[in-house]
Amino acid sequence: EESKREEELQEMYGEKGDIAFGSQIRSYVLEPYTLAKDRRTGHETGNVQAVLDGELLPFVEAFLHWKLKGRKPEESTGKD
């Protein structure tokens, strides 16, 4: 029973990578221009301040669309 629950949780949360330098999900550029980009989905915005203030819904929606397509990080084209 517990192993079944563990399997369900693993499927729900997906693969988790190592927490290490260079393994970030989003990158932020503040100078000389502003850009916040999700490295998995390719979603980006120039309104970095809004993202830093917590406006993450567009990134969450992009991730959910990306996940529904069954993509993996290395398959992301950045055009979705």
Tens-digit pLDDT profile for residues 23-67: 778 899 999 999 999 988 999 999 999 999 999 999 999 999 998
d(CA 71, CA 65): 9
Residue 39: phi and psi, rounded to 5, are: -70, -25
Q: Is residue 75 part of a domain?
A: yes
Residues 6+ apart with CB under 8 A from 26: 36, 37, 38, 39, 51, 59
Q: Is residue 72 part of a domain?
A: yes
Q: Is residue 38 part of a domain?
A: yes
- Residue 80 vs residue 54, higher pLDDT: 54
Residue 48: its pLDDT value, please?
A: 95
pLDDT category, 71, cuts 50, 70, 90? confident
Q: Is residue 1 part of a domain?
A: no
Range of the domain at 48: 24-80
**HSE of 40, CA atoms in CB hemisphere, 13 A:** 21
Q: Is residue 15 part of a domain?
A: no
